[in-house]
Structure 1
């Protein structure tokens, strides 16, 4: 999954102005899921009509067919996420995913049959498409409902993960630009392989690199702090941190910035000062500054194929270091 430049800019703006960025992701999730529901119901209706005279399991025949769908789609149709299968079998190979999907579907179908035979319950789902009505019995309805639940979960996990990865570097570049840090102090273009595991790097005049981690998790998610220690990071920028997280990082000499309230971004100045990275204090209007910075960091409104914006990959050799290059300049 990928996000558009517009969405990434909106997320960064909300993070830096103390707003909840999650509404951007939830809106995308709802739109993508509802479109999937419409398309899926159309396929279900057509498949049921095409197989009205066939006594075998039409859903399995139509929706678990590897010739018609990718292994990931077959897994979803069976009621499993491909990631779950990979974790269960320690492999995501095509045949393993397909075999596991069929096995799970058969088990799920048997469970549904058993439940419906024991309980006197009757549920039917009617799909109307182009003046044609298709009725699904309780077994078919529960299979379809389960598939939709799994699909929404898969879309949700993918979007939240994508949001984190695609916002990391643009967010850090925006913070640097806001405090007028010259670009050479956060140029990501020449990172050695050993340094590419971290989300972002800051550099001082001696070219010493300071690994930075960006985490958009909510409070109580231990991954925010764990990644910092695992990767030897010096800086953590996060949406929400617990008091314990902050105490532990203070004790270990790790600088942190929590982007939760309106002026929380100002703590980044303390980080730059402590790391001896040149900067200027920001005293202007934040919204106006972001209006100027964000188009320079994310230069396209379209789908962003890379998690690293061009703004942090430009290598510049200057003869006169007394006039360092800034991403944007404020009057």
Structure 2
């Protein structure tokens, strides 16, 4: 799930400026989810109409069709790919299809048992698209509701993962530019294979490459921090850190920066000085300088893309 340029810029600016960036992500999640719902409901309308008069399971016939992408089949059955991969240690299409069919049959049985047990409730979806409208039974309505719930969870998980993968390196580059770290002391082009799992590195004046881990994680997420400490970074930068995380870092001689602290970005310069990385003071107002840097990075990125295309 690629983030657009404006979203990346807004998240970076908010993280460094000690603001909650999560609303930026939630807006994107909502937009993707609502767009999916509209498309999915249209498909439901046409599938139900095409199946009028038939006794076969129209939902299974259309939405669990083996010709569909495996990811789509899984979601339509009420599963996500991660659940299938973890359970069967495989993501082959035939495995996904069988797991999806099995789950769909279990879901149908659960719904039928619920409906037949005399529960005093009635849920029916009525979907209208243009001049066409269909009414879904209780069972059909619950299956559709379950599908969009699973899809929402998939979108949410994918987007938060995308934020980490797509924002953390640009965030570090922006911080380096904020404190005028010379380009040659934070360029990532010559990153060795041993740094493959490392988010970033900076170079000290004596030529030492300093592993830098970045984690946009919520407070009290010790599992994520433990994995990072296991890679023995020199610098650990996060949106939020628990007291336990900070004590772990100090015990392991890891320099930490918590950006959600008031003025937390300033600690980055203290860390640079402590590790003998060349830098200089921030020039001017933080927000103004961030706007300048993010615009500069966007322009340089566009120029690089054009250069690669021309080559």
- Please report the TM-score for the alignment, with normalisation by the length of structure 2: 0.94
Deviation of 1:207 (Å): 2.3
The equivalent of 1:316 in structure 2 is none
User: How many Å separate the matches in 2 of 1:2 and 1:262?
Assistant: 30
Is contact 1:79–1:105 with CA below 8 Å preserved after alignment? yes
Deviation of 1:225 (Å): 1.4
- Residues 80-125 of structure 1: per-residue CA shift (max 9 Å, x gap): 0111111111111111111100110011101100110002432111
Structure showing the higher helix proportion among its residues: 2
With over 3 angstroms needed to count, the CA separation of the structure-2 counterparts of 1:300 and 1:184, relative to structure 1, is closer
Larger deviation: 197-206 or 2-11? Answer: 197-206
Is contact 2:169–2:199 with CA below 8 Å preserved after alignment? yes
Is contact 1:297–1:310 with CA below 8 Å preserved after alignment? no
The equivalent of 1:255 in structure 2 is 255
The equivalent of 1:28 in structure 2 is 28
With over 3 angstroms needed to count, the CA separation of the structure-2 counterparts of 1:300 and 1:125, relative to structure 1, is farther
Q: Which secondary structure does the structure 1 equivalent of 2:233 belong to?
A: coil
The equivalent of 2:95 in structure 1 is 96
Q: Which of structures 1 and 2 has the larger relative contact order (alpha carbons within 8 angstroms, sep 6+)? A: 1
User: How many Å separate the matches in 2 of 1:227 and 1:15?
Assistant: 22
Structure 1 unaligned residues grouped into runs of 5+: 303-308, 312-331
Matched, 1:179 2:188: no
- Residues 48-68 of structure 1: per-residue CA shift (max 9 Å, x gap): 00001110111000100021x
Deviation of 1:296 (Å): 2.5
- Please report the TM-score for the alignment, with normalisation by the length of structure 1: 0.89
Is contact 2:74–2:80 with CA below 8 Å preserved after alignment? yes
Q: How does 1:84-123 map to 2 (within 5 A)?
A: 84-118=83-117, 119-123=119-123
Q: How does 1:125-204 map to 2 (within 5 A)?
A: 125-204=125-204
Is contact 2:201–2:210 with CA below 8 Å preserved after alignment? yes
With over 3 angstroms needed to count, the CA separation of the structure-2 counterparts of 1:256 and 1:217, relative to structure 1, is same
Is contact 1:5–1:299 with CA below 8 Å preserved after alignment? no
Deviation of 1:228 (Å): 2.2
The equivalent of 2:62 in structure 1 is 62
Is contact 2:3–2:163 with CA below 8 Å preserved after alignment? yes
User: How many Å separate the matches in 2 of 1:22 and 1:192?
Assistant: 33
User: How many Å separate the matches in 2 of 1:210 and 1:112?
Assistant: 56
- Residues 25-68 of structure 1: per-residue CA shift (max 9 Å, x gap): 0000001100101100000000000001110111000100021x
Matched, 1:233 2:223: no
With over 3 angstroms needed to count, the CA separation of the structure-2 counterparts of 1:299 and 1:74, relative to structure 1, is farther
Number of residues of Structure 1 aligned to a counterpart in Structure 2: 304
Q: Which secondary structure does the structure 2 equivalent of 1:211 belong to?
A: strand
Root mean square deviation of aligned Cα: 1.7
The equivalent of 1:320 in structure 2 is none
Deviation of 1:310 (Å): 6.5
Is contact 1:210–1:235 with CA below 8 Å preserved after alignment? yes
The equivalent of 1:3 in structure 2 is 3
User: How many Å separate the matches in 2 of 1:281 and 1:195?
Assistant: 29
Q: Which runs of 4+ in 1 moved over 6 A?
A: none
Q: Which secondary structure does the structure 1 equivalent of 2:213 belong to?
A: strand
User: How many Å separate the matches in 2 of 1:47 and 1:156?
Assistant: 27
Is contact 1:18–1:264 with CA below 8 Å preserved after alignment? yes
Is contact 1:3–1:162 with CA below 8 Å preserved after alignment? yes
Is contact 1:15–1:260 with CA below 8 Å preserved after alignment? yes
The equivalent of 2:14 in structure 1 is 14
- Residues 256-291 of structure 1: per-residue CA shift (max 9 Å, x gap): 111113411000011101111110022520011111
Q: Which secondary structure does the structure 2 equivalent of 1:284 belong to?
A: coil
Is contact 1:213–1:237 with CA below 8 Å preserved after alignment? yes
Q: Which secondary structure does the structure 2 equivalent of 1:212 belong to?
A: strand
